[in-house]
Structure 1
Amino acid sequence: MNSVLQEAQQLLKIKTVHLQNSFIELDEDIDINELVDMPIAIQSFKGVSKIREANVEDDGQSWWEYCFYFAVGIRLVEDELEQSDDLTPFVEIKSTFCAKYESTKKLTQEQMEAFSEKNVGYNIWPFWREYVQSTCMRLNINPIEVPLYFC
């Protein structure tokens, strides 16, 4: 692990993770029970889309607050059309989560980039997996398997 990432990990203490926004779509032209017999492909994306930095002062104390916005999504498409530009997903779930951290010191740009690339996803991923599972249950479809997190 590089020293820049280690420095950021030592400085940042996680405070909260919350859902910032979400988009859910279930194709209304498909009978979801028919998907069992169809070749399905899972497509996904993940990554930090924005970082918000603020210096906070309260009761004579000062600290830095960092919000890392992590965009993530998953969808089911017909396997044969996976490479096509004409894709209409059967199911699509996209979200942005905000992971809020505090630090006693201001981070460098290099530390923020290293932390966003190698650490934030590990904090967000359990929330994302639970969100996909519970959303599938609400849609009355079989849960989409979200793999373990990797960088």
Structure 2
Amino acid sequence: MNALERAKAALQFDDIYQSSASAALGEAFDSKVSVLDEASCQLQFKHVVKQSNVLNYRNSGDTVNVFRVFIDVGVRLLINKDSEVGEDPILQIEATYCVDYRITQASLQTDQEALDAFALENASYHLWPFWREFVMSQCSRMNVPKIPLPLRFIGSPSSETPTQD
């Protein structure tokens, strides 16, 4: 069984939440009067598995073992000026998510190869629907056109091997 399969067999999704979030419109952009032309806009994305760690805590007398993955995600909208992309975004939405998994096989706690493979290859799939909904709702709240992220996560997050605490 390869490292990713070992992790899949020993982890059960438990929880997902934002540990930080920010959203901002550029100072020069007024969503009531500015018109966005798709041809003059460029989207940039951020998606980084930042860190992961194994947590052990007591709950009603039982020891609970959790594998937590921290993922930074972001999207920003830039305006092309004279066929060059501007540096200041007119819209930027970013968040850090914690994705928790119950460890169901104690041997996984010391299997760093399996934990890293899972953090880099699977955690983003569980995060994606939450991130997608957050971007869409933030766009609505900020009175800008919704940024339609794909229905499912495509590709690998740009990251190094996540740091283990």
TM-score of the superposition, structure 1-length normalised? 0.88
CA contact (8 A) 1:38 1:78 kept: no
Residue 119 of structure 1 is matched in structure 2 by: 122
- Identity of paired residues, percent? 27
Residue 97 of structure 1 is matched in structure 2 by: 97
Deviation at 1:37, TM superposition (A): 6.5
Residue 153 of structure 2 is matched in structure 1 by: 149
SS state of the match for residue 140, structure 1?
Answer: coil
- Tell me if 1:87 matches 2:63: no
Unaligned runs of 5+ in 2: 157-165
Alpha-carbon spacing, 1:64–1:37, altered in 2? closer, same or farther (3 Å): closer
Mapping for residues 1-151 of structure 1, pairs under 5 Å: 3-32=2-31, 33-36=34-37, 39-79=40-80, 80-82=83-85, 87-104=87-104, 105=106, 106-147=109-150, 148-150=152-154, 151=156
SS state of the match for residue 35, structure 2?
Answer: helix
More helix by share: 1
- Aligned-pair RMSD on alpha carbons? 1.8
Give the whole-Å Cα distance in 1 for the aligned partners of 2:4 and 2:38.
Answer: 46
Give the whole-Å Cα distance in 1 for the aligned partners of 2:110 and 2:135.
Answer: 32
SS state of the match for residue 77, structure 1?
Answer: strand
TM-score of the superposition, structure 2-length normalised? 0.81
Deviation at 1:17, TM superposition (A): 0.7
| Equivalences, count | 147
Deviation at 1:52, TM superposition (A): 2.6
